[in-house]
Amino acid sequence: MSAPHDKDFESIEEHEHHHHVVPPRIYITILLTLLVFTAATVGASYIDLGPLNPVIALAIAATKMILVVLFFMHVKYSTKLTKLTVGAGLFTFLVLVGMTLSDYWTRAWGRW
Amino acid sequence: MSDSQVVVHGAAEGAHHEHLPYQRHHFETYAQQSDATNFAMWLFLLTEVMFFGGLFTAYLIYRNWYYPAFVEASHQLDIRWGTANTAVLIISSFTMAMGVWSAEMKKKGALVFFLVLTFILGLAFLGIKTIEYKEKIEKNHVPGFHYSIQSFLNPSSDPEVHAKNPEDKPLPYDMARHTEIYFFLYFAMTGMHALHMIIGIAILGFMIFRARADAYTTGHVTFVENFGLYWHFVDIIWIYLFPLLYLISRH
């Protein structure tokens, strides 16, 4: 065990390291960006872009999700453990959905 | 409850004088405690992601199979209500994030204010959803014995929707019946999302009382922070539901 004053110093440092307070300025910026992206995705849905319509809508949704996760949910300022957990979760999710969809969409391959 | 508090108190007196009152005795430091809680919350949210992921996958598969039915059924949704609800939820996520900030800065008045705002915005979302559900019920677009395919067999029998989508052709009977799957998934997905909102609003109500009693403004912000994660997660689900249900089948 280290001396009490060492331990105090350590815990204060750790405390500050883990409790990064995100300033309101960032929250306001993210809010406005999310509202702009919402307007953009609604606007894009009024234009006929053929197969690009769903691609654009989902790309904008993914961008909005990333902004919410990084800033509102503080992942940008979180520990490596949290970052790894979120990243691994997203990766597993994409593998599960991607494999399932590629199975269904290729069952009748070449038979239409 | 009181027993365990006595034990914690005794342990704290033994060796760890510097411990914060809200630090549980089985954690070395408060930072370790909040990291562990944060990690646990994220694991819970990942199970939620997988749960909703199944619904999203089902939606994409059936949309691919019964594309004409899904396109015409989605024309029944009103893009204006969907856009309004997206804005309401995004703003409520912002007020929730400001609530977490207020708790971190130990501003009790601001915390209560932002929690109340989030609570009201949550109710506004459900109110708009109710208007939309009511319209589906009136048109017999709720899957079940009374489900009606009239709007899809004969689009001009539904003048309001037909005026907005004049290019919609009458669907053959078989395809028109598959619109019921669209509405089944619509109610399953938005209903599950709404259930999460209702649970969130109930917890918000509880938190408003606790915040007024100074529970979150003495340095222990874990509960507010983790509830914030839940609320933002529910927002993210809607960020995907909105384009998938309302936007991508407009042409």
Per-residue pLDDT tens over the stretch A58-75: 999 999 999 999 999 999
For residue B170, give how far its alpha carbon lies from the nearest alpha carbon of chain A (Å).
Answer: 21
Q: How far apart are CA B135 and CA B87, in angstroms?
A: 21
Chain B residue numbers touching A68 (CB-CB < 8 A): 93, 232, 235-236, 239
Mind listing the pLDDT tens digit for each residue in B122-180? 999 999 999 999 999 999 999 999 999 999 999 999 999 999 999 899 999 999 999 99
Structure tokens at B50: 């997988």
Name which of A58, A73, A82 is nearest B232 (Cβ-Cβ).
A73
pLDDT at B91 over 60: yes
Chain A residue numbers touching B34 (CB-CB < 8 A): 18-19
pLDDT computed for residue B31 by the predictor: 87
pLDDT computed for residue A112 by the predictor: 62
Q: Do A22 and B235 touch (CB under 8 A)?
A: no
Chain B residue numbers touching A35 (CB-CB < 8 A): 87, 90
The answer to whether residues B52 and B192 touch, using CB atoms and an 8 Å cutoff, is yes
For residue B200, give how far its alpha carbon lies from the nearest alpha carbon of chain A (Å).
Answer: 16
DSSP letter for each residue of B15-52:
T-TT--TTS-TT-SSHHHHHHHHHHHHHHHHHHHHHHH
Residue B14 confidence class, pLDDT cut points 50, 70, 90? very low
End-to-end CA distance of chain B: 60
Residue A110 confidence class, pLDDT cut points 50, 70, 90? confident
Walk me through the domains of chain B, giving residue ranges and CATH numbers. Answer: 30-247 (1.20.120.80)
Name which of B49, B61, B233 is nearest A93 (Cβ-Cβ).
B49
The C-alpha angle B47, A80, A27, rounded to 5 degrees, equals: 80
For residue B80, give how far its alpha carbon lies from the nearest alpha carbon of chain A (Å).
Answer: 9
Chain A residue numbers touching B97 (CB-CB < 8 A): 22, 27, 30, 71-72
Name which of A8, A60, A81 is nearest B39 (Cβ-Cβ).
A81
